């Protein structure tokens, strides 16, 4: 009986020929040699080797140690490379060559696939924003007056974007409950997750030239899952009036695989109807549907706690791209913009523990492992899987537990 080929995938495999996400990997034999690969089933197709063993006009891009040069090359190149990869895994003429370039996933180390340029995080779920508004501002309106007029966002910290599998050390910082007489310093006691979808910019744009919604496909290379780890106690004390800062910047986890935007064509869906008129640069009533039917699953320690639907997001990624460039701000290759926590209308569709526990916890314990997975519809009933985002909470570093001045009793603020 012939040995099963890794090119023959099980029925329904979400990493089949319609997906073909890009990543960067190394092997045990050559740990310092980072190479671009494409996930196919439970294997990685070594694109570096493919581009050097068979002639490719894009060899210089495919032999780079990150995806950035390929991402910067623009949509026509993305499409040409994708077609070549698809042919490599589906064309019988290439079968023997391709089989030699497939490496089992469990034999590789996956790295952050691109150099993150700027990182922006939005707040696009009406359900999430409403739920959080009620918890953080119980005496005020749940949604701020601007919320339905523009996609609210903030600039995050790109240097702490980490790849799936990276442990997340519990952050320390200041917190102060309203009833506390003074702030205290120490490890966060309200460490949370935020299940999000991230969009990765390939083609840059020029300063002073806004990128409209119609140019979305020209600039966005692909999509990944994002866990925007959040320390709610640090966040609640620091966020007024300038927004998230140290409660968010300690770590943001992303998938090792970037699914090309073109792979999501069959998942396009109209966003929820808007009840407030939008300014022309945000109006999408007569454009291609800007939503994506991505179904996310959140597991903690092996138990599924939520299934947030990305199709419920009020603001689309195309609107977010248009908004963040409408003032003339330029895009760089490697910019990452995340959707904001994905929450749907149902109690089992909420994307963070703050909402799932109505603000009361329990939050993450040391040792807890959080896994985000997702899929969306592809052609002919196929499923397109997004790469998982896995992260385990590690204890706070010892020197952080007492604060910088912990050895000076006079400097220690009163405990709460």
Enzyme catalytic residues: 128
The contacts of residue 239 (CB under 8 Å, 6+ apart) are: 245, 247
Nearer to Ca ion, 44 or 246 (CB): 246
The contacts of residue 3 (CB under 8 Å, 6+ apart) are: none
Closest approach, Cβ 208 to Ca ion, in A, equals: 28
Q: Could you say which of 194, 233, 335, 355 contacts Ca ion (CB under 5 A)?
A: 194
Closest approach, Cβ 270 to Ca ion, in A, equals: 24
Give CA separation, 28 vs 31, 33, 71, 107, 141, in Å. 5, 10, 27, 7, 55
Residue 128 φ/ψ, nearest 5 degrees: -65, -50
Binding mask 73-112 for Ca ion (x = CB under 5 A): ----------------------------------------
Closest approach, Cβ 190 to Ca ion, in A, equals: 15
Q: Could you say whether residue 228 binds Ca ion (CB under 5 A)? A: yes
Nearer to Ca ion, 21 or 247 (CB): 247
Closest approach, Cβ 161 to Ca ion, in A, equals: 13
Closest approach, Cβ 272 to Ca ion, in A, equals: 19
Q: Could you say whether residue 335 binds Ca ion (CB under 5 A)? A: no
Give CA separation, 256 vs 72, 123, 336, in Å. 19, 23, 14
Determine the interface stretch with Ca ion among 33-41, 109-117, 151-159, 222-230 (rule: CB under 5 A).
Answer: 222-230
Please state, in angstroms and rounded to a whole number, the distance separating the CA atoms of residues 25 and 17: 20
Query: In this structure, is the dihedral angle defined by the CA atoms of residues 203, 40, 337 and 115, taken in order, positive or negative?
Result: negative
Give residue number: closest CB to Ca ion: 228
Determine the interface stretch with Ca ion among 13-21, 47-55, 128-136, 221-229 (rule: CB under 5 A).
Answer: 221-229
Give CA separation, 356 vs 131, 225, 359, in Å. 10, 20, 8
Nearer to Ca ion, 46 or 228 (CB): 228
Which burial class, exposed, middle or buried, applies to 361 when counting CB atoms under 10 A from its CB (0-12, 13-18, 19+)? middle
* Interacting residue ranges for Ca ion, rule: CB under 5 A: 121, 194, 228
């Amino acid at each position: 009986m012939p040995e099963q080929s890794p090119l023959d995938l099980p029925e329904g495999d979400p990493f089949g020929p319609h997906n073909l996400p890009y990543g960067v990997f190394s092997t045990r034999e050559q740990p310092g040699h980072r190479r671009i690969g494409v996930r196919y089933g439970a294997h990685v197709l070594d694109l570096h080797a493919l581009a050097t063993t068979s002639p490719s006009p894009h060899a210089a891009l495919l032999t780079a140690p990150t995806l950035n040069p390929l991402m910067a090359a623009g949509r026509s190149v993305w499409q040409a490379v994708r077609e070549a990869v698809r042919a490599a895994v589906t064309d019988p003429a290439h079968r023997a060559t391709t089989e030699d370039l497939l490496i089992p996933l469990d034999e590789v180390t996956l790295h952050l696939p691109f150099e993150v340029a700027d990182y922006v995080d939005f707040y696009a779920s009406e359900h999430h924003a409403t739920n959080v508004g009620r918890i953080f501002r119980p005496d005020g309106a749940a949604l701020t007056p601007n919320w339905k007029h523009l996609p609210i966002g903030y600039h995050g910290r790109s240097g702490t974007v980490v790849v799936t599998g990276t442990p997340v050390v519990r952050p320390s910082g200041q917190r102060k409950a309203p009833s506390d007489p003074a702030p205290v310093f120490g490890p966060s006691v309200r460490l949370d997750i935020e299940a999000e979808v991230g969009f990765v910019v390939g083609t840059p744009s020029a300063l002073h030239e806004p990128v409209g919604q119609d140019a979305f496909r020209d600039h966005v290379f692909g999509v990944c899952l994002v866990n925007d780890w959040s320390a709610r106690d640090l966040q609640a004390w620091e966020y007024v009036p300038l927004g998230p800062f140290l409660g968010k910047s300690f770590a943001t986890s992303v998938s090792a695989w970037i699914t090309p935007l073109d792979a999501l064509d069959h998942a396009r869906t109209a966003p929820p109807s808007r009840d407030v008129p939008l300014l022309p640069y945000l109006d999408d009533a007569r454009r291609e549907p800007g939503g994506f039917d991505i179904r996310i699953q959140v597991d903690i320690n092996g138990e599924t706690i939520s299934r947030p639907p990305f199709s419920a997001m009020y603001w689309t990624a195309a609107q977010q791209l248009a908004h963040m460039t409408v003032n003339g701000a330029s895009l760089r290759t490697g910019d990452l913009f995340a959707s904001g926590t994905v929450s749907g209308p149902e109690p089992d569709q909420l994307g963070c523990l703050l909402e799932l526990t109505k603000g009361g916890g329990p939050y993450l314990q040391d040792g807890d492992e959080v896994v985000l997975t997702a899929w969306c519809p592809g052609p002919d009933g196929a499923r397109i899987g997004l790469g998982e985002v896995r992260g385990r909470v590690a204890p706070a570093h010892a020197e952080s537990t007492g604060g910088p001045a912990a050895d000076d009793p006079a400097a220690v603020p009163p405990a709460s």
